[in-house]
Structure 1
Amino acid sequence: MVYVSEMYTTPPTTFGSELEELTYETLTKLAIPFYQVATGEALTMKDCSAIDDRLGIEVVKTIFLCNQKKTKFYLYITPADFKFITKDFGKKLAIPRVSFASAELLKERLGVIPGAATIFGLLNDPEHEIQLVFDRSVAQREWYGCSSGSVTNYMKLKTADLFETFLPYTGHKPVLID
C-alpha cells in the first residue's frame, strides 16, 4: 500500500513538478481552499485507494486523449472505476475516434508524466487547445479529488470551486457527458 501523509490545508514545502507548484500558487491566488496529502508514488487507480481513504473522497480518473493527427486534445474526467472505451467517447461528443495521448504529448501539453494527469494541467493551455470533458456524475459531486500535478501529492477541493472559480480563471468551458 502506498504511503499517505496526514491532510494539510497549506501547500507542500517542496513540489514534485513545476505544474504542482503552479497549481498551489493558483489556488492560493484564487483563494480556493483545499486539503492535500503527500504520498508515495501513486501511478494507478489501485494505488489511490489509501489516498481516497485519507481524503474521504474518491480521486477521479483523468484521461488525456487526442485525435489521430494529434491536432485536437481532450482532457476527460471520470469516476475512478469507469471503464473507458474510446469509441463510446467519440460517439458522445460526435467526433472521430480518439486515442490515448503519448507520454511526450502529456508532458508537452499538460506538464505532467503518466499517472499525474490533472485538471490543473489546463494552466499550461493558455490557447485553449484542450477540450475539457467531464463525466456528469463527477461534476455533480460535492468534492473533487485529484493529483496536484505529480504522482506524490493529491488533493481535494469543492467541485463548485473548480467550476465557479478555477475554470473561469483558465477560460476552459467543460462539456458534460453521461
Structure 2
Amino acid sequence: MLTPQQLFAHLDTLGLAHRSVEHAPVFTVEEAKAHRGELPGHHIKNLFLRNKKEQMWLVVALEDRTIDLKSLGEILGAGRLSFGSPDRLRRTLGIEPGSVTPFALINDRERRVTLVLDRALSAGGPINAHPLTNTMTTAISFTDLGRFFDATGHQPRWLDFPL
C-alpha cells in the first residue's frame, strides 16, 4: 500500500497538478471544517460500504450531503448496505479509518470497489481529499481526478444526492 509521498509521485508521473496542506488529524466532517482553514473548492465525505454479498462501494459526495443508506442500496441494486469494517478497509483500500478517500482506489488493484460520485462534484473548483492520511488535504482539479480514476481502472457511477 502506498504512502502519501508515493501517491504524490504517482500523480506527478501522470502529469496531474495537486496541492496539499498538513493539519491536525480529522475523523469527521465537523473536525475537517474546524482544522482545514480556507481551502477553495469542493470538500467531500467518503463512505466505504459493503453488502451481504461482499460487494463494496466507495461513495464520494459533497461533505454536507445527507445520505440515506437504505435508499442508496436500492438505487445501486445492492440491497442492505453497511459500513465496511476497519479490517476490510485496510485490506481493500490500504488506509486507516478516518482516512477514507477517492485516492485510496490506487490501492484497489483488483478493482473490487465500485466508485460512486455525487454529480455536483463536476461543477466548480477543485476537489479536496485526504491523500491516504487524515493529517493532510490535497486539492486536485475535477478533470485531473477523473484522469486519476481512469489510471486506476475505476469508472465512476454518477448519482444525484441527496437520495
**Structure 2-normalised TM-score?**
0.91
Partner of 2:89: 106
Aligned mate of 2:153, from 161, 166, 171? 171
Equivalence for 2:46: 62
Q: Secondary structure at the match of 2:127?
A: strand
Counterpart of 1:4?
Answer: none
| Matches for 1:29-40 after TM superposition, within 5 Å | 29-40=13-24
Distance in 2, matches of 1:89 and 1:144, equals 22
Match of 1:45 in 2: 29
CA RMSD of aligned residues (A): 1.6
Counterpart residue type for residue 74 of structure 1: W
Q: Which segment is superposed worse, 132-141 or 72-81?
A: 132-141
Please say if residues 61 and 77 of structure 1, whose CA atoms lie closer than 8 Å, have aligned partners that are also in contact.
Answer: yes
Q: Does 1:148 align with 2:131?
A: yes
What residue is the counterpart of 2:104 in the other structure?
121
TM-score, normalised by the number of residues in structure 1: 0.83
Q: Residue 72 of structure 1 contacts residue 129 of structure 1 at CA under 8 Å; is this kept in 2?
A: yes
Distance 2:14 2:134 in 1: 24
Quote the Cα distance in structure 2 between the aligned partners of 1:34 and 1:49: 20
Contact 1:51 1:154 in 2 (8 A): no
Is 1:90 aligned with 2:73? Answer: yes
Three-state SS of the structure 1 residue aligned to 2:43 is: coil
Residue segments in structure 2 that go unaligned for 5+ positions in a row: none
Separation in 2, partners of 1:119, 1:19: 14
User: Matches of 2:49 and 2:124 in 1, distance apart?
Assistant: 23
Name stretches of at least 5 consecutive residues in structure 1 with no aligned partner.
1-16
Deviation at 1:139, TM superposition (A): 3.2
Query: What is the aligned length?
Result: 160
**1:99-156 deviations in Å (ceiling 9; x for gaps):** 0001111111111111100111111111111100001112334311110110111111
Matches of 2:87 and 2:158, distance apart in 1: 27
Aligned 8 A contact 1:52 1:58 in 2:
no
Identity level (%): 28
The 1-side partners of 2:109 and 2:99 are apart by 20
Tell me the equivalent position of 2:119.
136
